[in-house]
């Protein structure tokens, strides 16, 4: 079974931008049921279908498959829940780990999150200076939740 073990954090400041180059990403959801999320994503000029199972802590089963870009675009436009998630994804290497920083636009404009995938829930984690508060267990920050309750609607 493929497992995703991921921690998610808010960002402090803009110093992460110095080494980052991003790709535009659009994603939408065919199913938003927490136990079986089905997502369509385009990143750059590639398309992906992702199926995620129920979370246990910061782990959950995940299956991801590359699909034709044009098919992904059509599914995003015709089949996915609204609003779509629009963001730039930046990949930053730090101490042997790849951090993915997502800068959101559209309905979730103003939100910037970093996530890192781990081999084990017990892995020690070196933190870049720009990592802020951990939000791994706060479901509001999941992309699927941002479709139902976009960041712009949160009270600050």
Tell me the three-class secondary structure of 130-148, residue by residue: CEEEECCCCHHHCHHHHHH
Instruction: Supply the residues annotated as catalytic.
Output: 29
CB crowding 45-75: b at 16 or more within 10 Å, else e = eebbbbbbbebeebbbebeeeebeeeebeeb
Contact residues for 134 (Cβ-Cβ < 8 A; gap 6+): 7, 8, 9
Q: Give the Cα-Cα-Cα angle 135, 137, 150 (nearest 5 degrees).
A: 65
Q: Give the Cα-Cα-Cα angle 40, 143, 6 (nearest 5 degrees).
A: 100
Q: Residue 84 gets which letter from DSSP? A: P
Q: What Rg value do the Cα atoms of the chain yield, rounded?
A: 15
């Amino acid at each position: 079974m493929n497992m995703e073990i991921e921690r998610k954090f808010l960002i402090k400041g803009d110093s992460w931008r110095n080494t980052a180059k991003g790709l535009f990403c659009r994603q939408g959801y065919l199913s938003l049921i927490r136990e079986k999320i089905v997502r369509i994503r385009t990143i750059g000029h590639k398309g992906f279908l992702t199926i995620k199972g129920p979370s246990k802590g910061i782990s959950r089963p995940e299956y991801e498959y590359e699909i034709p870009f044009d098919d992904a675009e059509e599914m995003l436009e015709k089949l996915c829940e609204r609003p779509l998630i629009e963001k730039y994804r930046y990949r930053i290497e730090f101490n042997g780990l790849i951090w993915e920083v997502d800068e959101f636009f559209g309905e979730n404009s103003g939100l910037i999150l970093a996530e890192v995938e781990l081999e084990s829930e017990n892995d020690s984690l070196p933190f870049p200076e720009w990592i802020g508060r951990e939000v791994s267990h706060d479901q509001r920050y999941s992309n699927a939740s941002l479709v139902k309750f976009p960041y712009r609607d949160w009270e600050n």
